[in-house]
Structure 1
């Protein structure tokens, strides 16, 4: 399954930032039980995807760049793994030696593609605010 520990931690980082105007990496780590090296790696990917903004200096840290009502698990997970798929043959760059070999399509591929599409739809159906809107600091 494509929901890796890194993807899970990215969701936690977003959750931590939802309640504060800005947090340092150490504050995020403390709130969400994430190690600093892992947090920096995740924050870099989230920043490159335009989901968080980084601030330098004494009062630096990170803040959400997008409204939690506009963010879903799909956006977060795809920021961490842009080629996420439930199986390697669905990621678009993989050339399956069985699919289309001798003119015979792989019927499992079609079924798995449908499952992946449904999963992506489900990951988009609720915003982060829907998921964590009732939680407090």
Structure 2
């Protein structure tokens, strides 16, 4: 898994929305140095994941739909990139051709699976409120 620029920017979008009732895309972009086209793409994915709520009209914009105390980096990153595997053979869509070949397990596969599980645990251990709560006050 590579934490992409898009995933990093998604975390920034959430950070910008924390403590706000609603922000326009231009406000989000200004606060977090993100281009508008990129922000719209990210906001669409975050909206589809139920993390943000979009509002139309003159007073439109975006707001957090999920409580920052219950939202983690894992939630944000998987909303942007549903395939967060550190190696292709762990993503569930690809079978490891070396694991179990001729009855011999791939010990690297097993170790990488353990590392991936630990990484996911670490990304879930702190909420966005834990990370940025003081910044939003």
TM-score bracket for the superposition, by shorter chain length: over 0.9
**C-alpha separation in 1, matches of 2:53 and 2:2:** 25
SS at match of 2:69: coil
Going from structure 1 to structure 2, the CA distance change for 1:64 and 1:136 (only over 3 Å counts) comes to: closer
For residue 13 of structure 1, what is the aligned residue in structure 2? Answer: 13
Structure 1 stretches of 4+ moved >4 Å? none
Deviation per CA, 1:66-107: give whole Å up to 9, x if none: 110000000000101111111111111012221222121111
For residue 111 of structure 1, what is the aligned residue in structure 2? Answer: 111
Unpaired segments ≥5 residues, structure 1: none
SS at match of 1:63: strand
Deviation per CA, 1:37-70: give whole Å up to 9, x if none: 1101100000000000000000000000011000
Unpaired segments ≥5 residues, structure 2: none
**C-alpha separation in 1, matches of 2:136 and 2:16:** 10
Aligned residues: 137
TM-score normalised according to structure 2 size: 0.96
TM-score normalised according to structure 1 size: 0.96
**C-alpha separation in 1, matches of 2:59 and 2:104:** 61
**C-alpha separation in 1, matches of 2:117 and 2:109:** 12
**C-alpha separation in 2, matches of 1:26 and 1:33:** 10
Question: Aligned ranges for residues 38-77 of structure 1 at < 5 Å?
Answer: 38-77=38-77
For residue 131 of structure 1, what is the aligned residue in structure 2? Answer: 131
For residue 94 of structure 1, what is the aligned residue in structure 2? Answer: 94
Q: 8 Å contact 2:85–2:91 — kept in the other structure?
A: yes
- C-alpha RMSD of the superposition: 1.0
